Structure 1
Amino acid sequence: MPHDVTMPQLGMAQDAGKIVSWLKAPGDAVTKGDALFEVETDKATMEVEAQASGFLTGVSATEGEDVAVGAVIARISDSADDEGPAPEAPAPAAQEDTSDALPEGKSVTMPQLGMAQDSGLLVNWQKSPGDAVKADDVLFEVETDKSTMEVEAGTDGYLAATLAEAGENVPVGQAVAIISADKPDAPVSRSVASGGVEEAPVSATETVEEKLTEPKATPSKPAVQSTDGRILASPKLRRLALEQGLDLSRLVEAGHPQPFHVSDLDVLKALPQKSARPAAAAATASRHLVAKIAGDALPGFAKWSAEAHGMTDPDALLAGLAGAALPDATCVAVERFGASKSYAVGGTNSLSDVTETEDPPDLILRDLRGTTIRSADMGGETAPVLTITTRRKGLRITLDCAADQLDAQTAIQLLTDFADRVEQPLRHLL
């Protein structure tokens, strides 16, 4: 199936790009990831990669030509002979949106945040029709499958028209707003779903009265629901909710209208707690950290320890290194090839003081070197688990534990210290 090659949007205020040069000729075989052409904007020159494998056909833009963002300039086809009609570069969406029914002004288009992106989900509007805007004011937020970004107005003026509603998917390059130089008498509000049929304009008088009679912190919002089940929320709210351990789905369950903003954070905090669920969630939450080190110094260290100091138990050496990385640990269990031995480490940094014990472990060390296993994510057990596996060049060390066993800082410190000791075990003796 042919894949259209379009002019990407490399900047939020970019309307078009200049084809500097084609790096592949019509009929050439291309592989996904190959550089197809160079494009120049007012800020940068970049290589654009192929998003599919096949043959370059239907090239319709020449070197030195300015092409509108989103315009089809070539195809990647299954056959070099599949030329077909050359794809025509469509007129910019701004020309349709600035017809007689719409105010005159500069169009703001749906940006292309990724080379393979065809559309973006408009999360919410930060300005209302009729509002005065500055070039660096955030106009709306857009979400793709990879990121959520704030889109700036790009020019000073007034928001004369909004051409999509929160929760709608808008094709890349299509106009979503118009900014006029003069304050509009009757700002326009449309949706993509309406197919361009103009809805009742919002009068300037109504806009002013609404601002005077309704508190800005609690505006009336339509209950918007994304079609694919995603929660519509601003990036800042998502970050704050994550930092404070809050679940945005509780707002959805409570019927709070989307999209959610930072102003909804207090509403989320005020929602009644579900009985026993927060405690259960905290108890079952887990931590999974991975460290990678170059080489494997442990066999050489074990040989040196046996010859120079008579320490012939390599498991005791591992237990000592692990115990020193977790100062509160008094017992470390070492599991190797199905067998397990526990060692008393007793808060000492002396490897010669490590002895076998029957006490329950504070830390489990699972040594999978010599097996075909290359990574492990087995969840927490009765104690935190450090797992050593072999990778192509060096070792991978994984820490799995429950959140109530180690706090985040202690878990990070444990894995860091143990990885350092395994990478350079002789430093442990200094």
Structure 2
Amino acid sequence: MPHDVTMPQLGMAQDAGKIVSWLKAPGDPVAKGDALFEVETDKATMEVEAQASGFLTGVSAAEGEDVKVGAVIARISESADDDSPATDASSAAAQDDTSDTLPEGKSVTMPQLGMAQDSGLLVSWQKAPGDAVKADDVLFEVETDKSTMEVEAGTDGYLAATLAEAGESVLVGNAVAIISAKKPEAPISRSVASGAIDAASIAAPEPVKTTPTAPKPTPKKPAPAPTNGRILASPKVRRLALEQGLDLSRLVDAGHPQPYHVSDLDVLKALPQTTAQPAGVAAGASHHLVAKVSSDALPDFTKWAADTHGLTDADALLAGLVGTALPNANCVAVERFGISKSYAVADTNSLSAVTETEDAPDLILRDLRGTTIRSADMGSDAVLVVTITTRRKGLKLTLNCAADHMDAPTAIQLLTDFAGRVEQPLRHLL
């Protein structure tokens, strides 16, 4: 089956990228992971890897051309003979989003949180149509196959229109909301499937009045099934479930529709008890720890390492810093703007000994600095996950792992040690 190649979103404020050069020619064989093309944004020039194997066909964007985020620019096909141009599935939706029935203002688009992501599930709205919003207010929560994240408004104003409902999937780069400078007289609220709607006929939606108490309530509007066994729930629900020792997978087993919200915890509590877990171990138990660092010393440390020791790979430095904090770590994967690199860190007496590898990681470090995301709850993954986000002053470090990956004292020590290395990296000299 052909795989569409889209313009990635390498930063939350990015709405387009420039094709610097194609590293493969039409008809060339491509292996998954091969560098496919170079893209330039206002912050960086990066190589974009192929997400499937096959032959490069249907190239529709030339070098030097500016392309909207999420737009289809090529195809990876099973045969080099497939020379039909790639069709941009998002063009119709993008045209609809700029319809004159919508209020004027700044569009907030569905972000691309991973290179292989072509859509995101809107878990919940944190603001209602017509509400005043600040640039750093959380506007909505989005779920991908890897994480649930809070997305900020990005600008001051009023939420004039919401263009998707909770539980709907939205293509990357498509408008999710419009923020206007003036308070709207008739805020718009519509779903992805509804198409164009006359703004004058739409009023702000009434709050849903549900207080589920029965173990198997009447299903709500169905949402897309989770992929790879993930449970779709907001970060707040995951935190409350962890604090109360509740296992969200029991809602899945009971057939309760996703995504889950705070009110669904009442349904979970009302479910009949099953076989008891071993004493002291909560079902689905996991660790979720947060550390706050007063300042971001990493840029100065990176510059010092490059100028003094010739170490120019900032990701390798990050991998070394977190690797020294994790006992028996052999491999750390650093993810930034959806691109992942893995580093061997078994010998971390010197950061200069950190080298790239293709081994499976023992820990994933997600660096979300430079984005508008301020909070990220990944849930329990196959390995430990540490996330770096930006605060008003300094950084926020979040650790997520299953309880069987690491005991609580070790998790606390890991995050404490890494926070110290991030705040004062020169204490851990090369």
TM bucket by the smaller chain?
Answer: 0.5 to 0.7
Deviation at 1:67, TM superposition (A): 0.2
Contact 1:124 1:259 in 2 (8 A): no
Residues 29 and 102 of structure 1: is their aligned pair in 2 closer, same or farther, counting only changes over 3 Å? Answer: same
Deviation at 1:75, TM superposition (A): 1.3
Amino acid in structure 2 at the alignment position of 1:122: L
- What corresponds to 2:102 in structure 1? 102
Does residue 202 of the first structure (1) align with residue 188 of the second (2)? no
Deviation at 1:124, TM superposition (A): 0.1
Residues 81 and 157 of structure 1: is their aligned pair in 2 closer, same or farther, counting only changes over 3 Å? Answer: same
Q: Secondary structure of the residue that 1:32 maps to in structure 2?
A: coil
Amino acid in structure 2 at the alignment position of 1:14: Q
Q: Secondary structure of the residue that 1:193 maps to in structure 2?
A: helix
- State how 1:323-338 maps to structure 2 within 5 Å: none
- What corresponds to 2:34 in structure 1? 34
Q: Secondary structure of the residue that 1:142 maps to in structure 2?
A: strand
Deviation at 1:223, TM superposition (A): 4.4
Q: Distance in 1 between matches of 2:82 and 2:97?
A: 34
Number of residue pairs the alignment of both structures matches: 286
Deviation at 1:57, TM superposition (A): 1.7
- What corresponds to 1:143 in structure 2? 143
Amino acid in structure 1 at the alignment position of 2:169: N
Q: Distance in 1 between matches of 2:8 and 2:164?
A: 21
- State how 1:4-403 maps to structure 2 within 5 Å: 4-85=4-85, 87=87, 91=91, 93-197=93-197, 200-202=201-203, 223-228=220-225, 231-248=231-248, 259-261=260-262, 268=266, 271=269, 278=276
Amino acid in structure 1 at the alignment position of 2:51: Q
Q: Distance in 2 between matches of 1:270 and 1:86?
A: 46
Contact 2:246 2:268 in 1 (8 A): no
Amino acid in structure 2 at the alignment position of 1:170: V
Consecutive unaligned residues of structure 1, counting only runs of 5 or more, are: 215-221, 295-401, 414-430
Residues 37 and 277 of structure 1: is their aligned pair in 2 closer, same or farther, counting only changes over 3 Å? Answer: same
Q: Write out per-residue CA displacement over residues 226-258 of structure 1, whole angstroms, 9 at most, x where no aligned residue.
A: 332675421243134225422235678698996
Contact 2:222 2:257 in 1 (8 A): no
Residues 234 and 269 of structure 1: is their aligned pair in 2 closer, same or farther, counting only changes over 3 Å? Answer: same
Q: CA RMSD in A?
A: 4.1
Contact 2:59 2:85 in 1 (8 A): no
Q: Distance in 2 between matches of 1:192 and 1:115?
A: 23
Q: Distance in 1 between matches of 2:43 and 2:140?
A: 23
After the TM superposition, which of the residue ranges 68-77 and 120-129 deviates more from structure 2?
A: 68-77
Q: Secondary structure of the residue that 2:237 maps to in structure 1?
A: helix
Deviation at 1:40, TM superposition (A): 1.6
- What corresponds to 1:380 in structure 2? none
TM-score (norm 1): 0.56
Q: Distance in 1 between matches of 2:271 and 2:91?
A: 53
Contact 1:121 1:144 in 2 (8 A): yes
Contact 2:129 2:162 in 1 (8 A): yes
- What corresponds to 1:348 in structure 2? none
After the TM superposition, which of the residue ranges 122-131 and 249-258 deviates more from structure 2?
A: 249-258
Contact 2:90 2:171 in 1 (8 A): no
Q: Distance in 2 between matches of 1:293 and 1:250?
A: 33
Q: Distance in 2 between matches of 1:11 and 1:293?
A: 30
Q: Write out per-residue CA displacement over residues 156-204 of structure 1, whole angstroms, 9 at most, x where no aligned residue.
A: 111111111111111222211111111110000101232444585225x
Contact 2:74 2:85 in 1 (8 A): no
After the TM superposition, which of the residue ranges 239-248 and 165-174 deviates more from structure 2?
A: 239-248
Q: Secondary structure of the residue that 2:241 maps to in structure 1?
A: helix
Q: Secondary structure of the residue that 2:52 maps to in structure 1?
A: coil
Contact 2:110 2:172 in 1 (8 A): yes
Deviation at 1:44, TM superposition (A): 2.5
Q: Distance in 2 between matches of 1:120 and 1:140?
A: 12
Contact 1:24 1:56 in 2 (8 A): yes
Deviation at 1:38, TM superposition (A): 1.2
Contact 1:28 1:56 in 2 (8 A): yes
Q: Distance in 1 between matches of 2:258 and 2:76?
A: 43
Residues 250 and 68 of structure 1: is their aligned pair in 2 closer, same or farther, counting only changes over 3 Å? Answer: same
Q: Write out per-residue CA displacement over residues 340-388 of structure 1, whole angstroms, 9 at most, x where no aligned residue.
A: xxxxxxxxxxxxxxxxxxxxxxxxxxxxxxxxxxxxxxxxxxxxxxxxx
TM-score (norm 2): 0.56
Q: Distance in 2 between matches of 1:259 and 1:242?
A: 14
Amino acid in structure 2 at the alignment position of 1:4: D
Residues 169 and 258 of structure 1: is their aligned pair in 2 closer, same or farther, counting only changes over 3 Å? Answer: closer
Considering Cα pairs closer than 8 Å and 6+ residues apart, tell me whether 1 or 2 has the greater RCO.
Answer: 2
Q: Distance in 1 between matches of 2:53 and 2:255?
A: 47
Q: Distance in 1 between matches of 2:237 and 2:119?
A: 23
Q: Distance in 1 between matches of 2:128 and 2:54?
A: 45
Contact 2:72 2:86 in 1 (8 A): no
Q: Secondary structure of the residue that 1:238 maps to in structure 2?
A: helix
Q: Distance in 2 between matches of 1:241 and 1:274?
A: 17
Q: Distance in 2 between matches of 1:24 and 1:156?
A: 42
Q: Write out per-residue CA displacement over residues 53-80 of structure 1, whole angstroms, 9 at most, x where no aligned residue.
A: 1111221212221100111111112222
Amino acid in structure 2 at the alignment position of 1:246: L
